[in-house]
Amino acid sequence: MCAALVLTVAGAVAPGVARAGQASDDRMILEGVPGHAGGRLVVALRSEPKTLNPVLAVDEPSREVIRCLSADLIHINRGTLKTEPALAKSWNVSRDGRQYTLQLRRGVRFSDGEPFDADDVIFSFQVYLDEKIDSAQRDLLVVGGKPITVVKVDRYTVRFEMAQPYAAAERLFDGVAILPRHCWRRATRAVAFRRRGRFRWRRINSRAWVRSG
């Protein structure tokens, strides 16, 4: 029997709404009813998620919920298995196959209203690659024996540099949730972050849990 989870949505990236004056190619049209700050998300799972911390999550229930609450740069469509633009609206590869330059969507905001830009991308990958935090994602971000390097080109452009060409490099970005730098800077320094993650669960009845913390 599946367990039903009721979550208060907070911290998710919302790329679906284009603001006035925003270039039309920055718009990301998603199927389904748009969410809103303070709304609820119900997810059916076979077991309880252990955390909502995308940096430390290794179990599938946790990762399934996190996928509903966050966004990555380039996403793999689970139906076609092809890569699709997400927070990155486009990207190009250098001739030697060692550099990927991503153009980020403009006008994207986190659920608390703070804007998303290249600083959030740089910060996120610094966290995932931090050996002290020991994220499960870190091994996926090591190419040719060396961690990938992330360079900020401008506010909406980032460049990923690798030690050697990697044909499937654009698939590395799938599932790497972008973190809101303004919320997570202090959290990543805490011992509790590395030990338990940033979120806690509170049971509200025999079948439902709510996120707190």
Is the pTM higher than 0.85? no
Q: Are 150 and 143 in contact, with CB atoms under 8 Å apart?
A: no
Which tokens is 204 given?
A: 């509200």
pLDDT at 133: 86
The pLDDT of residue 2 is above 80: no
pLDDT at 186: 72
Average pLDDT rounded to a whole number, residues 8-22 = 40
Q: With the C-alpha atoms ordered 139, 141, 12, 110, is the resulting torsion angle positive or negative?
A: positive
pLDDT at 190: 55
**How far apart, in whole angstroms, are the C-alpha atoms of residue 97 and residue 163?**
10
pLDDT at 69: 84
Summarised one tens digit per residue, pLDDT across range 87-145 is 999 999 999 999 999 999 999 988 888 999 999 999 999 999 998 888 888 999 999 99
| The CATH number of the domain covering residues in 3-212 | 3.90.76.10
**How far apart, in whole angstroms, are the C-alpha atoms of residue 122 and residue 19?**
24
Q: For 69-134, give the DSSP string.
A: H---SEEE-TTT--EEESSEEEEEE-TTS-EEEEEEPSS-EETTSPBP-HHHHHHHHHHHH-TTTT
Summarised one tens digit per residue, pLDDT across range 35-87 is 666 677 788 888 888 888 888 888 998 888 888 888 999 999 989 999 999 99
pLDDT at 83: 94
Q: Are 210 and 8 in contact, with CB atoms under 8 Å apart?
A: yes
Summarised one tens digit per residue, pLDDT across range 20-38 is 334 445 767 667 776 666 6
Cα-based distances in Å from 60 to 133, 192, 193: 20, 22, 20
**How far apart, in whole angstroms, are the C-alpha atoms of residue 101 and residue 150?**
10
Cα-based distances in Å from 89 to 84, 108, 133: 9, 11, 29
Domain boundaries, the chain: 3-212
pLDDT at 132: 86
Count H helices and E strands in the chain, helices first: 4, 14
pLDDT at 193: 52
Element (H, E) at 63: helix 60-69
Which tokens is 134 given?
A: 């020991």
Among 115, 192, 193, CA closest to 155: 115
pLDDT at 118: 97
Q: How confident is the model at residue 7 (pLDDT cuts 50, 70, 90)?
A: very low
pLDDT at 35: 67
Summarised one tens digit per residue, pLDDT across range 184-209 is 887 666 544 544 444 454 544 444 44
Residue at 204: amino acid letter: I
pLDDT at 184: 85
